[in-house]
Chain A
Amino acid sequence: MRQNNSVEFLKEKAIEVRTTILTMIHEAKSGHPGGSLSSADILAALYFDELNIRANDPKWEDRDRFVLSKGHACPVLYSCLALKEYFPYEEIHTLRKEGSILQGHPDMKRCPGIDISTGSLGQGLSVAVGMALAAKRDNKDYRVFCVVGDGESNEGQIWEAIETASKYELNNLVIILDQNRLQNDNICDVVMPSRDMVKKFEAFGCETLEIDGHKMEEITDAFDKIRDTKTNKPFAIVAHTTKGRGVSFMEDVVAWHGVAPNDEEYEIAIKEVKGGLVCK
Chain B
Amino acid sequence: MQIRDGKPTREAYGKAMLELAANDSNIYVVDCDIGKSCKTVPFSQQFPNQHVNVGIAEQNALGVGAGLATTGKIPFVTTYAVFGSMRMLEQIRQEVCYPQLNVKIACSHGGFTPANDGASHQGIEDIGIFRTIPNMTIVAPADYESAFELVKAAAKYDGPVYLRFTRDAVPSIYKSDDKFEIGKAVELNKGSDVTIICTGDILSKGVLATQQLEKEGISVKLLDMHTVKPLDKEAVLKAIKETKAIVTVEDHNIINGLGSAVAEVVAETGGCKFKRIGIQDQFGESAPYEHLLAKNGITVENIVDTCKKML
Contacts and interface: CB of A to CB of B under 8 A. Distances in A.
Chain A contact residues: helix, strand, loop or mixed? helix
B72 to A, nearest CB: 8
Interface of A: 61, 65, 107-109, 115-120, 122-135, 137-138, 156-157, 160-161, 163-164, 167-168
B158 to A, nearest CB: 14
**Closest 4 pairs (CB-CB, A-B):** A130-B67, A126-B63, A160-B60, A160-B57
B64 A133 contact: yes
23 contacts: A116-B66, A116-B67, A116-B70, A116-B95, A116-B99, A117-B95, A117-B99, A120-B94, A122-B59, A123-B91, A123-B95, A130-B68, A133-B52, A133-B68, A135-B71, A137-B50, A160-B55, A160-B60, A164-B52, A164-B54, A164-B57, A167-B54, A168-B52
B100 interface: yes
Given A126-B62, A161-B60, A117 B94 contact: yes
A163 B100 CA distance: 27
A20 to B, nearest CB: 25
Given A160-B54, A160-B57, A164-B57, A129 B64 contact: yes
A163 B57 contact: yes
The size class of the interface chain B forms with chain A is: 20 to 34
B157 interface: no
Contacts of B95: 116-117, 123, 126-127
Contacts, number: 105
A161 B71 contact: no
Interface of B: 49-50, 52, 54-55, 57, 59-73, 75, 90-91, 94-95, 98-100
A130 B65 contact: yes
Given A120-B90, A123-B94, A157 B63 contact: yes
A135 B68 CA distance: 9
